Chains A and B, each alone.
Chain A
């Protein structure tokens, strides 16, 4: 038995070190605290320099108001702040930081230095903090503003240091964090570098432009802006068209009075606004800035201040939901132009393509002809399908909204589309006939081995064969997985894949999920894993290649995904691999089977990656193109 020890008051340095654990969990948290201070100091330009993912150095340079030399040593003391002076201030917080913990916590677990010069002073002053040992302020040369340098983070908390991930992972968190901080401050320019290389450069810009920095370039065409206010509340920001919704919430940013927050109410309200427009489980893209009277919210819930408590959360929910819903329903949402094909997920390897083409070729036998087939169809022409197609394409809110008149001026137009010689099937005749409306026969033809063109009730549709098939496979897989684990073929000779340590850690995390999907992988030595079982329906794929790609892709995802999101990611990948590719020639029977299955899948106008599967050209559009309107 251990002898009883007397209770003792902890030393201040130990208290600070413990507190640091709460606020400073990783290098990105340091960046957050320092940049928030810089913003509060009125900086117009903030430079963040990072070395080795923040472990070696984090330096934040601002051109703000600076601090007088007398304040400098106090900056490192705990619960010392210039942002609150009395109890009442706590209920009217308008600055980013206020708890007076940040610098003390950072100083307690690193070698930190503050150099500050006020605009009125001739020279600057600096103060050092070596793991809690604070020096006196000394004169030093420097520009107006404050520079904080944090070196050797967590040097005296080895346990924490051990939990720091690789340099690129930590830097990923830092850059994500800085983006979050930069979005609501368009007048401040931000520059981020890692190991001397520029990583992010956000010049001062109008607000709308700054908010777009939250998303990749290809999103920028599909954005709606909102700005609504009443007496007390204001909601502004940008939201993405439904096609931008993703399986993860990584393109969602919420701000409350300029502070980034995570809030389930707002997230829920946003998702509800998109109900019926995106797949369930998808997260719409949105950057929302909410302003409410400071007294209506408690931001002092958690040290990192990302969680808040609203006095009237129902009101906030209602505001977000109604504003966004209204905006969406008043907008044209059907993609009209041929979008540029995003190669984000990388070109599939040639051999995979062939195997998968083969996989698909085996499918048609299992699917019967669509129920609308008419006995009177001329021999050689393909069974009709178009009537059903049209009904699934036209979501109710689209039908009432004709496409904008600018269509012809801005978008590639159909008549200029290069038409290859018609394939030697009976389709062209039937197609032409149906276009002039003399015959109910409808067919689809394949163009460039990539697109299917078919007649719909009010015009024609262009279908991306890969996107549609991927979508169908995704839905079928999802339904299957919800019924139970996928059937897996066990391996007689397990395939061994070399992996990095991060990948190994990721693998441990996602193992149960992989089990559901019929993939059984276990560690095999310190730097490799063995694949013991693989889904039987992916028989044509190499298990090792798939697992390697999965881990490589997973490693790049910096966000810690929830299990459900992970499931969607992996299913996405499986569906993408198993689907026919652009460039695969399809036989009439295959086209028919593909389109027949289109009916089985609800909302098939978007593929799992959020790209549309189907584009629509109505007769009205065509008439406009051919200048037939007005007759």
Chain B
């Protein structure tokens, strides 16, 4: 194999692939990337057996096609530190030679056939979605997913698609986020498709999409989901388990409602949160006809009171929330105004930002 590469494009490919390469693994081949030169492009593939990625780099000149397995971090570091515009990569036997104008690196390769298969995108897409929208939906839900819950389904985001509509839902058992949008096209069966996608895959996908106008093609298999953009294919195993019947926890009987400007409410919460501690995280929200008063107290440091004028309908009430849970959501709302609907101090609050984003948040029991 012999290829002349544009260093910048190659570095980007290796950086993206590097996100998948397992840091610690008993299988050394998983610390490698598979490099394939064929059909005028260089494909970089990496996998940790959960998530796999293929990234194609077309800014290459292939003099001799072939494939090789290179240690991911060494290869990337060499490309990053090099100063040339182009680098020549030549693999002979089990040695890869990377040559710049004044440099020559030899690194040892492993057998390409040992690498687990990294699927390509084949056949028709089940659905297509605008890259920008997909990024937005990910941003509006991923933060609320659990990290290492024993309720495995909570560690992913539920993607449901049906009738040219898509929605993403995530929860960690304390709060729940849902974001909706329209598909460009879908060839799904009538009952639609559902898949719980691991957080890691969505984090990567978010980085892969850089053109908001570009359509992302998606295939949902029994235990895998495949995303395809013009330059990359991302395959991920699905999270096993049953996503909870989340519709049941979205309150439908709210009788109190606050409306406010998103940025102002965010600022008020952030200021009230300044005097909370690890042990008493809660901010007290007192709603009345006059508006909202936010207070917090930390036994060691002091108290905070924020008077926040806003529109409020319903009986006076007092409720406590973990301010982080509120700010998490307010940061990703894409509308200028939000509403917060409530029923009782021990019942969930329902935050809505525009027609396509809703967020259910459980209160804290204040002392």
Contact = CB atoms under 8 A, between A and B. Distances in A.
A492 B149 contact: no
Contacts of A545: 150
Interface string B273-284: 000011111100
B174 A537 contact: no
Contacts, number: 82
A489 interface: yes
Given A485-B365, A490-B365, A536 B150 contact: no
A544 B150 contact: yes
Interface stretch (B80-88, B263-271, B356-364): B356-364
A499 to B, nearest CB: 16
Contacts of B361: 492
B116 interface: no
B249 A495 contact: no
A539 B151 CA distance: 15
Contacts of A488: 364-365
A242 interface: no
B149 A491 contact: no
Interface in A285-339: none
A355 interface: yes
A536 B246 CA distance: 23
A406 interface: no
Interface residues of B, number: 32
B279 A487 contact: yes
Contacts of A498: none
Contact of A480 (B149, B150, B173, B279): B279
B24 to A, nearest CB: 13
A553 to B, nearest CB: 18
Residue from A359, A488, A544 having most chain B Cβ neighbours under 10 A: A488
B281 A493 contact: no
A326 to B, nearest CB: 41
A510 B300 CA distance: 30
A518 interface: yes
A104 interface: no
Contacts of B5: none
Contacts of A544: 150-151
Interface of A is mostly: mixed
B360 A487 contact: no
Nearest to A485: B367
A542 B367 contact: no
Interface in A540-555: 542-545
Contacts of B346: 490
Interface in B338-367: 346, 348, 360-367
Contacts of B149: 542
Contact of A495 (B151, B299, B348): B151
Interface in B146-179: 148-151, 171, 173-176
Contacts of A127: none
A476 interface: yes
A481 to B, nearest CB: 11
Interface in A470-515: 476, 480, 483-495
A363 interface: yes
A542 B150 contact: yes
Nearest to B320: A487
Contact of A492 (B150, B175, B300): B175
Given A355-B148, A536-B280, A492 B364 contact: no
B362 A366 contact: no
B322 interface: yes
B117 interface: no
A444 to B, nearest CB: 23
Contacts of A492: 171, 173-176, 249, 348, 360-362
B278 A366 contact: yes
B248 to A, nearest CB: 9
Contacts of A122: none
A357 B367 CA distance: 27
A460 interface: no
Of the listed residues B174, B277, B280, B348, the one surrounded by the most CB atoms of chain A closer than 10 A to its CB is B174
A487 B364 contact: yes
Contacts of B300: 366
A544 B151 CA distance: 10
A351 interface: yes
Interface string A70-84: 000000000000000
A179 interface: no
Nearest to A533: B365
Contacts of A355: 148
Contacts of A486: 279, 367
Nearest to B250: A492
A539 B279 CA distance: 10
A226 B281 CA distance: 51
B65 interface: no
A537 B176 contact: no
A363 B278 contact: yes
Contact of A487 (B173, B174, B244, B282): B282
A128 B300 CA distance: 71
A366 B281 CA distance: 13
Nearest to B280: A487
A351 B148 contact: yes
A487 B249 contact: no
B171 A536 contact: no
A120 interface: no
Contacts of A363: 278
A85 interface: no
21 contacts: A366-B277, A480-B279, A485-B365, A485-B367, A486-B367, A487-B282, A487-B364, A487-B365, A488-B364, A489-B362, A490-B348, A490-B364, A492-B175, A492-B348, A492-B362, A518-B365, A536-B279, A536-B281, A536-B322, A537-B278, A537-B280
Interface of A: 351, 355, 359, 362-363, 366, 476, 480, 483-495, 518, 533, 536-537, 539, 542-545
Give me the 7 closest cross-chain CB pairs, A-B, nearest first.
A490-B362, A484-B367, A537-B279, A488-B365, A492-B362, A536-B281, A487-B280
